[in-house]
Amino acid sequence: MSLYGMMRTGVSGMNAQANRLSTVADNIANSDTTGYKRSSAEFSTLIMPGTGGAYNSGGVTTTIRSAISSQGVLQYTTSVSDLAVNGDGFFVVQDPSGTPYLTRAGAFVADAQGRLVNAAGYQLMAYSYANGDPAATANGFEGLEPVQISDQEMTATPSTEGVFSGNLPAGATPPAGPLPSSNSATAEYTSKSSLVAYDNLGNKVLLDVYFTNTGSGAWQVSVFDQSKATAGTSFPYTGGALASANLTFDTTTGKLTGATTGISFTVPNGSTLDLDMSKLTQLGTGFTVSEAEVNGNAPSTIEKIQIGQDGIIYAQYEDGSTKPLYKIPLADVTSPDRLTALPGNVYAQSTDSGAVRIGFANEGKLGSIVSGALENSNVDIAEELTNMIAAQRSYTANSKVFQTGSDLMDVLVNLKR
């Protein structure tokens, strides 16, 4: 047996237990760190080749593993911007230089520019609704941008779609005078309602909607800008009708039939508004309105934000209207425990983890996003204290091996004297 080998093996054992104690210290120190994943030291043997009649002791090597795939307990908070992933997946964040990373630490707060930043200074990334419904880039981070919400910015959304449903009286008869679409001063109609829409600047536009029976199961609907009405009489409207359409109902069932199920027109100084009337009926009762909704909103600032389990960030304005701003994606890899852990509780893909895949919450194996919650670390203090005691004893035992080898070396040296 080589005394040098014996001492080398003792040093190897002490170094391994020192690494184990280091992971224990790190775990205990970060036991209250949001989204932290505990580390552990995994040991494997080192074998040294021997010769006949002699044994060369080897040693032990250490591999540090992080339990990244193990979820911590969710702790609920009162902040909407505190986010947690319930299930598989990671938030995508970027550092000030724009480099993307993965994290489970979702304690985000708005900075001076309105960007959502966590405790380590990483900015939350998401897809914007500015260009329509977002789609995830499955194999990369392209298309993602920092979430930035400013409560000082005013916004106005023009009306583009609406729904109008109710009942038109089946017993109605065509009026004797001209139809409203003629815009004649003597125009007659069967029923009338009004709707509020918004132009491009957020100004309210009051619309008069006329329904006129033109025969058995036949109706004409005409829309006018109320601000253009003749004072005290309505008709005629300056500029005429914004649009008119003919509706046909089944006289047996009272349901709308035919190709026309609504009316489209341009809101004055606004956008094209498609008004869906497919749920209108013609039954034996009076004129009633059961639903009348038009999208859009007047100029207002963001009052608060809401985040759904699907990751959509909604802005709620002072007038009560809501608008989707961003959709938060989730990232995943084939082997999360093989991700490279970096300072700030973030992770980067490695050759062993597999490539990053991007998707949305509740799709495939990805979990859901919980607003108003944080994921605690997955550290068990009792287990770490037990590991610390075990590592201490093993370190002491390995030090005894080294000390014994050192004593024997002294004996060997003194044999010459």
pLDDT-wise least confident of 4-13, 188-197, 227-236: 4-13
Better pLDDT: 59 or 195: 195
d(CA 17, CA 170) in angstroms, rounded, equals: 88
DSSP for 290-356? Answer: EEEEE--EEEEEEEEEEE-TT-EEEEEETTS-EEEEEE-EEEE-S-GGGSEEETTTEEE--TTT---
**Per-residue pLDDT at 298 exceeds 70:** yes
pLDDT above 70 covers a percentage of the chain that reads 98
Residues facing 371 on adjacent strands: 83
**Per-residue pLDDT at 1 exceeds 70:** no
**Per-residue pLDDT at 278 exceeds 60:** yes
d(CA 243, CA 180) in angstroms, rounded, equals: 11
Contacts of 115 (CB under 8 A, 6+ apart): 123, 124, 146, 147, 148
pTM value surpassing 0.85: no
33-90, pLDDT tens digit by residue? 999 999 999 998 887 776 666 777 778 989 999 999 999 999 999 999 999 999 999 9
Contacts of 22 (CB under 8 A, 6+ apart): 41
**Which tokens hold the place of 287?**
């004129």
**Per-residue pLDDT at 4 exceeds 80:** no
| Local confidence band at 197 (pLDDT 50, 70, 90 cut-offs) | very high
Residue-level pLDDT at 59: 84
CA atoms within 13 A on the CB side of 298: 7
d(CA 363, CA 191) in angstroms, rounded, equals: 48
Residue-level pLDDT at 54: 73
Contact of 2 with 10, CB cutoff 8 Å: no
| Local confidence band at 417 (pLDDT 50, 70, 90 cut-offs) | low
157-176, pLDDT tens digit by residue? 899 999 999 999 999 999 99
Q: Provide the 8-state DSSP code for 114.
A: S
Domains in the chain, CATH or no CATH each: 3-67+378-414 (no CATH), 74-155+301-375 (no CATH), 159-295 (2.60.98.20)
Q: What are phi and psi of 159, to 5 degrees?
A: -75, 135
Better pLDDT: 319 or 364: 364
